[in-house]
Amino acid sequence: MGHFMTTVSYFILLFISSVLADGGLVGVNYGRIANDLPEPTKVVELMKSQGINRAKLYDSDPTVVKAFADSGIKLVVAIPNELLSSVAKKPSFANSWVQENIAAHYPKTQIEAIAVGNEVFVDPANTTNFLVPAMKNIHSALVKLNLDKAIKVSSPVALSALQNSYPSSAGSFKTELIEPVMKPMFEFLRSAGSYLMVNVYPFFAYAANSDVISLDYALFRENPGVVDSGNGLRYFNLFDAQIDAIFAAMSALKYNDLKVVVSETGWPSNGDKNEIGASQENAADYNGNLVKRVLTGGGTPLKSNSVLDVYLFAMFNENQKTGPTSEKNYGLFYPNQQKVYNIPLTEEGLKAWKGGKRQSAPVSGGGGGNSNSSTSGGGIGGTGGVSTSSSGHTWCVANDKSGEEKLQNALDYACGEGGADCHSIQPGAACYSPNTLEAHASFAMNSYYQKNSRAVGTCDFGGAAYVVTQTPKFGKCELPTN
């Protein structure tokens, strides 16, 4: 395993969406570093009983792979790091591996992807140079068997592959990885029609920086959000911020067309005293809210149309894992098949779920953001709420902390030389009410922002405005997207 608007209204869309269309997929990682786990056939039955229809392994153990036969569960199998050199150097070895570990089971076992290695860049055995040749040889073996369209080849990458991850817009890969492995891997993924697997753990960032990162921000709870100083986008959870750092790093290398799948993410239900935030309550909130965020759809602030598929880590607590106590306590289930905590894993379960809504005491400047950008949301919560019909757009709203003078100047500019359409906020018009400076300035600045195709820098007005990703609504007036 690798390593704030205060109003409730902006989170209605994030947490109480009744429309589950265009959502991503949720699977689980089935790790087995333990001596007390159920037989694989029982594990498969447990998954089916919970509505889990995707699973990811860390090897290709035939007993386990066979257990998934005719189960309806789509499976990701893995090639351990210690085999990469052989797979990379000998196409014959790759051919034999695919024949014995894939073709022998497919299609009775619905294998849909092969993870070549795991977090190879941080492997002490230094197998990085073997990664892309191994991926190519495995893909070539699949091509020979006409399985390359059905079964994708990728490799899980840890967030530590990034040189910079904050702010998200500054995301970049480590310089020493770019030419030797990142670009060749992205070229391969693009040519093979595959995707990048990434392992993302907000827990690690929170535990190491709990003095500046809000727990609510890390757990998808209600929080004021954090504005990215580079592009003006506002983030309401650390997970999205970390994913967008990956997207930004890929975009910098001109590979922003590749899909990203989150091959691991999770939160421990127990940990050592210094592992701040490790608890059952926090694990339930993180994983439950994450499932909700994935299944209800919607992209990230940087890529509003991206649909994320996520594999939770992990199915079970694993008692033989080394390292801190948390490593043994990422499971959704105990080895006796009882739940560690109750969260939804399917759309049906989501409809009845009541968790994840609490809010702890406000944390100023949470998430490492500038405290000046953690506004109260322009009073939007007090004037109506948020539409539940967001379609991946962004809007520009007033920052009520900037003061009346700045807001008035912004309003005057937008409606004047800025060329915004301000007819709707004239007396008697549809958006005149509520007749407040915040509401009118938001309407005008948003009109200017949309008119300028939501270009970076067109929602600033000297700090009087910021970008949001959920539809703002003042009274009965919903801000338009064009």
Active-site residue set: 119, 264
Task: Tell me the DSSP string of 106-144.
Answer: TTTS-EEEEEESSSGGG-TT--HHHHHHHHHHHHHHHHH
Q: Which residue has the tokens 């759309």?
A: 347
Least Cα distance to 119 among 187, 29, 43, 38 occurs for 29
Q: Evaluate whether 347 touches 292 at the Cβ level (below 8 Å).
A: no
Task: Tell me the DSSP string of 58-93.
Answer: SS--HHHHHHTTTS--EEEEEE-GGGHHHHHH-HHH
Within a 13 Å sphere around the CA of 381, how many CA atoms are in the beta-carbon half?
15
Distance, in Å, from the CA atom of 179 to the CA atom of 153, rounded to the nearest integer, reads 20
User: Phi/psi class of residue 20: alpha, beta or left (left: φ > 0; alpha: ψ in -120 to 50)?
Assistant: alpha
Q: Evaluate whether 165 touches 242 at the Cβ level (below 8 Å).
A: yes
184 contacts: CB under 8 Å, gap ≥ 6: 132
Backbone angles phi, psi at 351, to 5 degrees: -60, -30
DSSP 424: G
Q: How many helices (H) and strands (E) does the chain have?
A: 15, 18
Distance, in Å, from the CA atom of 244 to the CA atom of 168, rounded to the nearest integer, reads 6
Distance, in Å, from the CA atom of 367 to the CA atom of 390, rounded to the nearest integer, reads 24
Measure CA 448 to chain center. Answer: 30
